[in-house]
């Protein structure tokens, strides 16, 4: 009968606040599935209150230096997994070089939640509607994860999501950072999100990027996992026409399988996917 | 006519009395009350079925959990409760009637212990077929939400139909409907709908109940209408009403959702079971969505006969109000919307049936506008529809049919007063403004379209004919006063306006007028309820009356001291003096506690002024609805300029223009803040809000992530407000109510603007992007197809 109870507070758990990556990985190693990392808590606390998860130990990762790193070098951008979105947005290069990500972050959750919510938490939750997923793909992000058992490994973002709320992360693995190569000059990218009001989870999210060599598209909330497409071979002569669009749409249409839920019907999601794709292609290519 | 004279406070935008407390966080709400000795906490277990018989409830293991003080089930106090219709259980007794209905309640040392106890309770149900659709429910006599309706008590103003799901049928009849349609050149029929919505007030419901060992009852609650809570608790527990005290601290928004009686009987019942210990219940947001009352849904079928020159000859309407599992309060929503049925118009032949229907969904109560936003969605969309069909300007068409002084208010044979205010002036103000300020530049993309739309409306307070208000003013030694009223402060700002009235009447600086933001039924003057935009008018008149009473007492003493007849005395700037002879003054401070002559002999004594006001209305004829249903009507009009993205269906509100004939704006800034607040709330409801259920009747969006309400960034760029002041002679300084009016025209104005922009008619709310898109898709598929192509061309 528990589904008829609306809990006031959180279930009981121990809280650990490690100050080093090593300490954190040790804790994860000991507690495995009985623990959960805590970044901003904007997903975790909701799940805890509704008893969707009941870990014995919560590991606050906000004091780990590696996870707090925010750095733009001539080659790449590194965003520590626990850097709050509002802080990421202070880095001016985000807007210049990673427009799609900037547009997603600048509109994510709401102004207050952005002071807490992190990109690490967003992808670790692996929601089909994770706003950062599309832009991270179009910027060819690589996720650095670490664990005591397997050490450090890099996961390309298009290998990260495995199902609804399922990712490639092992229970003892921690996301350390998200890394994106510096784009070549003339790369253009964009993100668009359809929602029911000024602040809402996505009905559909769409991101795209384009340069001389590559054109990438990423979609959220249209399938159990974010949908990523490399359409570089379909973009001929750097132009977009109705014919070219139709061939792109055929690919997209075969990969998406939206559902009907409280936010939207399946049909509307398909329609919006098409419209956002058109608008984004126009923005990044024409 | 109301005298025009120089005033100190009337018409001035005095800062809100409650602003500092609220902004600084000092304001106390029921949630904050934690210091009652021995207090326990309550949690309840709710029904997982929309309709089921309770076979058994086993609480034995829950009772053994340490810290559990009492467990109550419906059988502990199986009386039916309610304001207008006694159809509600405190806890489900024989059967459950919606998913979310409280079935078992636990009082424990902490909420966590109570939750553990809930987990240990076993309930066995026998599932019954449920009925969720109000149209099906209206005609069903197989699935009945209340088989025992015939046994329920109800106010004589209502007509329930036992053996059906009809909780109330209100009929309005005027002229001869057949003749009316035979005179028409054109008959237009439409069906309109509005879903159930949530009040979504900021503060979830909190109630604390204490059944004291001496038999008295104390309640602290986030309730809008403490005196109604007191009265209904008296009835529920058969306790003398004067033995009950209801305290209501500041309320974090109510919008009707906290009117009437809600969880107070539950906590009082538990308190009695738990050895007279006080019990606190604070709902989570999810519980508030599932178990607390919501707003009715509506379906209406309307048929209008019109001549080709724009005169409406007949109108026939059927309103179906989806009240959910209880109709305790919603029967009056159906009744109030029933007697207004056709909006602010004068039509000779009317037939309207307004049905309040039971379904197995959360139950409905009052909601800001009380059925009028819903009915004006029907009427004002239909007016534009009709104007368009006969090729007339929508405002010219409306004005050839609007209600004028001397004409009967809807069908009620109650004639509109000469001083009632003017719907035509409201329509003109808004329409001229919209057209003059229409965006001149063309939209930035080919798939953006602009449109304007307008809606007129009216509303008066829906209350029983004997609804009354009172007030008292009590002086302190320095001549300052405490004003006591019964109306609650839940954000409207009424207490500030009432303080202004008292300051004006008694010639006091506003700083010397104290008016409390909390209510205490033992301390405060009585008022029936804080609902229906009635408070400024009714409690305002009572405050004025109390001040006049005090002034009379003051003059009586001053007349003896100054040896001047009291008619010749003036009270101004805290001084009492004979007309024209200011130098012969006495000060208020010298008089209000009794006057002492230089010799020490004293006369008079502490002054308390007492005032009252009672509604002037009648019962309505059950067959025709004839009678006097309201004390006044406020007229208004609202219009919008919108921009539609026809590719996605998204609507942006560029401007919201409102005009209200409010008689007198006692505090213009407060009026404007009501207009903005109500406007945004109505936009939110018009464009996004709806309670969504699955086939089993389970609410799918019981939280503020899934149930979308407007956020700061949704607020339109521009609000324009016109306050028209044709004074109402019996209103305080000519004033009428405005609180609810600020919402009434918004949905229909947007619907009309959509048609104006893209020639697509939408009859169902909300006007969400998806709804707008799907209607464009159905009505103008060629438009969508061509716009898609334009993306690459543009
Ligand atoms: C009101 C509201 C609005 C929202 N709006 C949006 C929106 O518009 N778009 C959107 O995409 N999301 C939205 N969300 C969801 C949420 O805010 C985001 O997903 C956010 O990015 C989560 O980040 P966080 O730091 O708060 O994660 P947390 O809640 O701290 O963690 C989320 C999950 O990730 C795990 N985790 C956290 N850090 C790590 C790490 N370093 N390594 C491994 N696992 C880790 C946690 O254990 C947990 O399972 C909203 C949530 C709310 C409550």
Return the residue whose CA atom lies nearest to atom 40 of ligand 1: A175
Both A202 and A113 in one domain: the answer is no
Q: Is A197 on the interface with B (CB under 8 A)?
A: yes
Q: 3-class secondary structure for B744-755?
A: CCHHHHHHHHHH
- Which ligand 1 atom sits closest to the C-alpha of A38? 30
Both A111 and A137 in one domain: the answer is yes
Q: What is the pLDDT, as a whole number, of residue B411? A: 72
Both B303 and B240 in one domain: the answer is no
Both B506 and B491 in one domain: the answer is yes
For the Cβ of A117 lying below 6 angstroms from any atom of ligand 1, the answer is: yes
- Which ligand 1 atom sits closest to the C-alpha of A44? 29
* Domain coverage including residue A73: 65-181
Which CA distances in Å does B766 have to A260, B293, B458?
17, 20, 22
The answer to whether residue B154 is domain-embedded is no
Give the CATH number, domain containing residue A278. Answer: 3.30.390.50
pLDDT at B4 over 80: no
Both B439 and B454 in one domain: the answer is yes
The answer to whether residue B2 is domain-embedded is no
Chain A nearest-CA distance from B119, in A, is 6
The answer to whether residue A2 is domain-embedded is no
Confidence of residue B753 (pLDDT cuts 50, 70, 90): very high
Q: Running DSSP on this structure, what letter comes out for residue B302?
A: E
Nearest to A183 by CA among A213, A158, A207: A213
Both B642 and B745 in one domain: the answer is yes
Residue B26 CA to chain centroid, in angstroms? 26
Chain B nearest-CA distance from A134, in A, is 20
Give the CATH number, domain containing residue A78. Answer: 3.30.465.10
The Cα angle at residue A43 between residues A37 and A48, in degrees rounded to 5: 75
- Pinpoint the alpha helices (H) of A151-286: 242-255, 266-285
Return the residue whose CA atom lies nearest to atom 4 of ligand 1: A109
Which CA distances in Å does A164 have to A12, A39, A167, B88?
26, 20, 8, 42
The answer to whether residue B179 is domain-embedded is no
For the Cβ of A155 lying below 6 angstroms from any atom of ligand 1, the answer is: no
The answer to whether residue A7 is domain-embedded is no
Whole-number Å distance between alpha carbons of B272 and B68: 14
Query: What's the number of domains chain A is made of?
Result: 3
For the Cβ of A52 lying below 6 angstroms from any atom of ligand 1, the answer is: no
Tokens representing B87 are 């159809």
Beta carbons of B475 and B570 less than 8 angstroms apart: no
Where does a domain end: A132, A151, A181? A181
Both B771 and B661 in one domain: the answer is yes
Give the CATH number, domain containing residue B109. Answer: 3.90.1170.50
Helix, strand or coil for residue B41? strand
Q: Any idea which residue has 């534009």 for tokens?
A: B384
- Pinpoint the alpha helices (H) of B274-345: 285-291, 330-340
Confidence of residue A41 (pLDDT cuts 50, 70, 90): very high
Residue B48 makes CB contacts below 8 A (sequence gap 6+) with A1, A3, A4, B99, B125
Nearest to B637 by CA among B374, B489, B428: B428
A244: closest chain B residue by CA: B792
Between β-strands B244-248 and B279-282, what pairing exists: parallel, antiparallel or unpaired? unpaired
Whole-number Å distance between alpha carbons of B199 and A275: 34
Q: E strand or H helix at B561, and its extent?
A: helix B535-562
Helix, strand or coil for residue B529? coil
Confidence of residue B2 (pLDDT cuts 50, 70, 90): very low
The answer to whether residue A262 is domain-embedded is yes
Both A103 and A36 in one domain: the answer is no
The answer to whether residue A216 is domain-embedded is yes
pLDDT at B242 over 70: yes
Do the Cβ atoms of B290 and A6 come within 8 Å? Answer: yes
Whole-number Å distance between alpha carbons of A231 and A215: 5
Do the Cβ atoms of B711 and A263 come within 8 Å? Answer: no
Phi, psi of A38 (to 5 degrees): -120, 120
Whole-number Å distance between alpha carbons of B152 and B326: 12
Q: What is the pLDDT, as a whole number, of residue B1? A: 38
Both A72 and A145 in one domain: the answer is yes
Q: What is the DSSP string of B618-669?
A: ----TTT--S---S--EEEEEEEEEEEETTTTEEEEEEEEEEEE-S--SSHH
The answer to whether residue B186 is domain-embedded is no
The answer to whether residue B12 is domain-embedded is no
Both B768 and B725 in one domain: the answer is yes
Whole-number Å distance between alpha carbons of A244 and A224: 27
Whole-number Å distance between alpha carbons of A13 and A163: 27
CB count within 10 Å of CB B477 equals: 9
Lowest-pLDDT choice from A107-116, A232-241, B168-177, B626-635: A232-241
Mean pLDDT on B238-258: 97
Beta carbons of A172 and A148 less than 8 angstroms apart: yes
Where does a domain end: B591, B614, B637? B614
The Cα angle at residue B578 between residues B577 and B582, in degrees rounded to 5: 55
- Which ligand 1 atom sits closest to the C-alpha of A131? 11
Both A80 and A136 in one domain: the answer is yes
How many CA atoms does the CB half-sphere of A113 hold within 13 Å?
20
Whole-number Å distance between alpha carbons of B282 and B291: 12
Tokens representing A183 are 């784009």
The answer to whether residue A3 is domain-embedded is no
Beta carbons of B663 and B735 less than 8 angstroms apart: yes
Q: E strand or H helix at B546, and its extent?
A: helix B535-562
Residue B19 CA to chain centroid, in angstroms? 22
When CB atoms are compared, the residue of B287, B700, B708 closest to A196 is B708
Whole-number Å distance between alpha carbons of B794 and B791: 5
Both B718 and B593 in one domain: the answer is no
Mutation target vs B (from A2, A6, A199, A274; most B CBs, 10 A cutoff): A6
The answer to whether residue A4 is domain-embedded is no
Q: Is A198 on the interface with B (CB under 8 A)?
A: yes
Q: For the CA atoms of A217, A219, A222, A228, what is the dihedral angle to 10 degrees?
A: 60
Chain B nearest-CA distance from A47, in A, is 13
Do the Cβ atoms of A282 and B792 come within 8 Å? Answer: yes
Where does a domain end: B598, B614, B630? B614
The Cα angle at residue B225 between residues B221 and B227, in degrees rounded to 5: 95
Both B301 and B216 in one domain: the answer is no
Tokens representing B599 are 């010799």
Whole-number Å distance between alpha carbons of B679 and B660: 13
Query: What's the number of domains chain B is made of?
Result: 3
Q: What is the pLDDT, as a whole number, of residue B414? A: 84
CB count within 10 Å of CB B148 equals: 11
Do the Cβ atoms of A7 and B115 come within 8 Å? Answer: yes
Nearest to B501 by CA among B469, B541, B555: B541
Tokens representing A101 are 């990500």
Instruction: Give me ligand 1 centre to Cα A283, in Å.
Output: 29
Whole-number Å distance between alpha carbons of B189 and B385: 10
pLDDT at B3 over 50: no
Whole-number Å distance between alpha carbons of A232 and A212: 9
Where does a domain end: A181, A210, A240? A181
Q: Where are the beta strands (DSSP E) in A170-222?
A: 174-181, 188-194, 204-210, 215-220
Both B378 and B474 in one domain: the answer is no
Strand order in the sheet with B166-174: B166-174, B349-358, B312-324, B297-306, B186-194
The answer to whether residue B164 is domain-embedded is no
Whole-number Å distance between alpha carbons of B410 and B131: 33
The answer to whether residue A51 is domain-embedded is yes
Beta carbons of B228 and B221 less than 8 angstroms apart: no
Do the Cβ atoms of A1 and B43 come within 8 Å? Answer: no
Q: E strand or H helix at B177, and its extent?
A: helix B177-182
For the Cβ of A116 lying below 6 angstroms from any atom of ligand 1, the answer is: yes
Beta carbons of B104 and B89 less than 8 angstroms apart: no
Both A114 and A150 in one domain: the answer is yes
Give the CATH number, domain containing residue B356. Answer: 3.30.365.10
Both A69 and A174 in one domain: the answer is yes
Q: What is the pLDDT, as a whole number, of residue B781? A: 96
The answer to whether residue B146 is domain-embedded is no
Whole-number Å distance between alpha carbons of B12 and B696: 54
Residue A23 makes CB contacts below 8 A (sequence gap 6+) with none
Helix, strand or coil for residue A34? helix
Do the Cβ atoms of B282 and A242 come within 8 Å? Answer: no
Residue A233 CA to chain centroid, in angstroms? 25
Whole-number Å distance between alpha carbons of B10 and B273: 51
Average pLDDT over all residues of chain B: 96
* Domain coverage including residue B577: 468-614
Both A195 and A272 in one domain: the answer is yes
When CB atoms are compared, the residue of A5, A8, A262 closest to B692 is A262
Q: E strand or H helix at B451, and its extent?
A: strand B448-459
Whole-number Å distance between alpha carbons of B93 and B87: 12
Chain B nearest-CA distance from A38, in A, is 21
Mean pLDDT on A93-99: 96
Whole-number Å distance between alpha carbons of B40 and B34: 10
Both A159 and A96 in one domain: the answer is yes
Confidence of residue A2 (pLDDT cuts 50, 70, 90): very low
- Which ligand 1 atom sits closest to the C-alpha of A85? 21
Tokens representing B445 are 């993309």
Mean pLDDT on B518-541: 97
Return the residue whose CA atom lies nearest to atom 5 of ligand 1: A109
Both A171 and A115 in one domain: the answer is yes
Give the CATH number, domain containing residue A46. Answer: 3.30.43.10
Whole-number Å distance between alpha carbons of B461 and B256: 13
Q: Where are the beta strands (DSSP E) in B134-165?
A: none
Strand partners, B190: B302
Strand partners, B41: B108, B280
Do the Cβ atoms of A242 and B792 come within 8 Å? Answer: yes
pLDDT at A150 over 80: yes
Q: Is A282 on the interface with B (CB under 8 A)?
A: yes
Both B703 and B608 in one domain: the answer is no
Beta carbons of B473 and B544 less than 8 angstroms apart: no
Both A74 and A174 in one domain: the answer is yes
Beta carbons of B451 and B642 less than 8 angstroms apart: yes
Where does a domain end: B291, B311, B337? B291
Mean pLDDT on B81-110: 97
Both A240 and A227 in one domain: the answer is yes
Mean pLDDT on B603-624: 96
Where does a domain end: A166, A181, A196? A181
Query: Which residues of chain B are within 8 Å of residue A2 when distances are taken between CB atoms?
Result: 119
The answer to whether residue A231 is domain-embedded is yes
Do the Cβ atoms of B48 and A3 come within 8 Å? Answer: yes
Mean pLDDT on B577-600: 96
Q: What is the pLDDT, as a whole number, of residue A3? A: 57
For the Cβ of A35 lying below 6 angstroms from any atom of ligand 1, the answer is: no
- b/e per residue, B51-72, with b = 16+ CB within 10 A? bbebeebebeebeebeebbbbb
Strand order in the sheet with B575-578: B569-572, B575-578, B586-587
Chain A nearest-CA distance from B771, in A, is 9
Whole-number Å distance between alpha carbons of A61 and A58: 9
Please give the ipTM for the structure prediction.
0.95
Both B481 and B544 in one domain: the answer is yes
Per residue in A243-283, pLDDT (tens digit) is 999 999 999 999 999 999 999 999 999 999 999 999 999 99
Both B510 and B577 in one domain: the answer is yes
Do the Cβ atoms of B712 and A241 come within 8 Å? Answer: no
Tokens representing B292 are 């607390």
């Amino acid at each position: 009968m528990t589904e008829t109870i609306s809990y006031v507070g959180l279930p009981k758990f121990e809280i650990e606040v490690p100050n080093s990556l090593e300490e954190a990985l040790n804790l994860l190693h000991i507690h495995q599935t009985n623990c959960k990392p805590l970044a901003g808590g904007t997903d975790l606390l909701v799940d805890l209150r509704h008893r969707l998860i009941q870990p014995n130990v919560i590991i606050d990762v906000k004091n780990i230096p590696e996870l707090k790193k925010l750095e733009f070098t001539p080659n790449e951008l590194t965003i520590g997994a626990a850097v709050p979105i509002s802080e990421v947005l202070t880095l001016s290069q985000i807007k210049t070089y990673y427009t799609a990500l900037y547009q997603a972050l600048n509109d994510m959750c709401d102004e207050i939640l952005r002071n807490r919510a992190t990109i690490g938490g967003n992808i670790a939750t692996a929601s089909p509607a994770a706003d950062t997923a599309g832009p991270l793909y179009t910027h060819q992000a690589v996720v650095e994860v670490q664990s005591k058992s397997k050490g450090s490994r890099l996961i390309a973002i298009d290998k990260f999501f495995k199902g609804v709320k399922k990712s490639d992360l092992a229970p003892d693995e921690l996301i350390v950072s998200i890394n994106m190569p510096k784009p070549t000059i003339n790369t253009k990218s964009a993100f668009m999100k359809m929602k029911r009001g000024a602040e809402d989870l996505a009905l559909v999210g769409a991101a795209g990027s384009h340069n001389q060599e590559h054109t990438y598209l990423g979609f959220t909330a249209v399938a159990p996992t974010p949908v990523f497409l490399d359409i570089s071979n379909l973009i001929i002569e750097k132009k977009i026409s109705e014919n070219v669009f139709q061939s792109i749409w055929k690919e997209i249409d075969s990969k998406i399988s939206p559902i009907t839920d409280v936010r939207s019907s399946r049909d509307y999601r398909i329609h919006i996917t098409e419209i956002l794709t058109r608008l984004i292609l126009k923005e990044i290519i024409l | 006519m109301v005298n025009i004279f120089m005033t100190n406070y009337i018409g001035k935008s005095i800062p809100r009395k409650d602003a500092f407390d609220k902004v600084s966080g000092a304001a106390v709400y029921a949630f904050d009350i934690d210091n009652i000795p021995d207090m326990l906490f309550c949690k309840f277990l709710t029904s997982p079925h929309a309709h089921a018989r309770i076979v058994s409830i086993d609480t034995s293991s829950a009772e053994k959990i340490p810290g559990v003080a009492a467990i109550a089930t419906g059988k502990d106090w199986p009386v039916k409760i309610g304001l207008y219709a006694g159809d509600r259980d405190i806890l489900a007794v024989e059967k459950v009637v919606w998913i979310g209905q409280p079935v078992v309640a636990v009082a424990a040392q902490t909420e966590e212990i109570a939750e553990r106890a809930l987990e240990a309770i076993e309930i066995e149900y026998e599932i019954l077929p449920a009925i969720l659709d109000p149209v099906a429910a209206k005609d069903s006599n197989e699935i009945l939400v209340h088989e025992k309706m015939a046994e329920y008590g109800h106010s004589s103003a209502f007509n329930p139909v036992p053996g059906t799901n009809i909780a109330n049928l209100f009929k309005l009849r005027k002229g001869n409907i057949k003749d009316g349609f035979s005179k028409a050149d054109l008959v237009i029929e439409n069906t309109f709908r509005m879903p159930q919505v949530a009040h979504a007030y900021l503060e979830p419901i909190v109630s604390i109940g204490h059944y004291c060992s001496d038999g008295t009852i104390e309640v602290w609650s986030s309730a809008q209408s403490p005196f109604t809570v007191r009265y209904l608790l008296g009835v529920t527990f058969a306790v003398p009403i004067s033995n009950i005290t209801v305290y209501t601290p500041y309320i974090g928004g109510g919008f009707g959702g906290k009117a009437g009686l809600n969880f107070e009987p539950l906590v009082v019942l538990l308190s009695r079971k738990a050895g007279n210990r006080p019990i606190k219940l604070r709902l989570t947001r999810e519980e508030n969505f599932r178990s607390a009352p919501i707003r009715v849904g509506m379906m209406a079928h309307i048929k209008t006969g019109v001549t080709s020159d724009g005169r409406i000859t007949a109108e026939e309407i059927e309103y179906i109000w989806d009240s959910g599992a209880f109709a305790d309060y919603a029967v009056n929503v159906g009744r109030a919307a029933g007697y207004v049925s056709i909006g602010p118009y004068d039509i000779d032949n009317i037939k309207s049936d307004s049905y309040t229907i039971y379904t197995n969904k959360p139950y409905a109560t009052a909601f800001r506008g009380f059925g009028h936003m819903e009915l004006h969605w029907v009427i004002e969309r239909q007016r534009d529809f009709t104007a368009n069909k006969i090729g007339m300007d929508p405002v010219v068409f409306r004005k050839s049919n609007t209600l004028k002084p001397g004409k009967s208010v809807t069908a009620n044979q109650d004639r509109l007063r000469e001083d009632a205010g003017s719907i035509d002036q409201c329509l003109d103000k808004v329409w001229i403004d919209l057209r003059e300020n229409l965006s001149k530049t063309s939209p930035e993309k080919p798939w953006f379209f602009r449109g304007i739309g307008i809606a007129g409306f009216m509303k008066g307070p829906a209350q029983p004919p004997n609804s009354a208000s009172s007030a008292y003013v009590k002086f302190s030694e320095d001549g300052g006063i405490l004003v006591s009223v019964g109306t609650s402060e839940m954000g409207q700002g009424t207490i500030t306006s009432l303080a202004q009235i008292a300051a004006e009447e008694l010639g006091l600086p506003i700083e010397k007028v104290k008016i409390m933001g909390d209510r205490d039924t033992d301390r405060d003057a009585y008022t029936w309820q804080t609902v229906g935009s009635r408070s400024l008018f009714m409690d305002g008149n009572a405050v004025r009356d109390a001040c006049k009473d005090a002034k009379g007492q003051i003059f009586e003493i001053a007349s003896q001291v100054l040896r001047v007849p009291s008619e010749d005395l003036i009270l101004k700037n805290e001084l009492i003096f004979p007309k024209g002879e200011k130098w012969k003054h006495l000060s208020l401070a010298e008089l209000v506690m009794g006057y002492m002559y230089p010799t020490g002999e004293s006369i008079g004594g502490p002054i308390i002024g007492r005032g009252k006001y009672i509604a002037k209305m009648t019962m309505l004829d059950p067959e025709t609805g004839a009678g006097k249903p309201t004390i006044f009507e406020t007229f208004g009009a609202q219009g919008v300029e919108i921009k539609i993205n026809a590719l996605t269906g998204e609507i942006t509100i560029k401007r919201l223009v409102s005009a209200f004939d409010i008689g007198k704006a006692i505090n213009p800034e407060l009026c404007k803040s009501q207009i903005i607040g109500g406007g945004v709330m109505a936009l939110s409801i018009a464009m996004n809000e709806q309670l969504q259920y699955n086939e089993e009747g389970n609410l799918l969006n019981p939280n503020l992530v899934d149930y979308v309400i407007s956020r700061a960034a949704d607020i339109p760029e521009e609000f324009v407000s016109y306050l028209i002041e044709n004074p109402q002679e019996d209103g305080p300084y000519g004033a009428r109510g405005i609180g609810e009016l600020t919402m009434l025209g918004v949905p229909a104005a947007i619907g009309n603007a959509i048609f104006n922009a893209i020639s697509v008619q939408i009859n169902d709310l909300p006007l969400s992007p998806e709804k707008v898109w799907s209607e464009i898709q159905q009505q103008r598929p060629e438009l969508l197809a061509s716009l898609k192509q334009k993306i690459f061309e543009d």
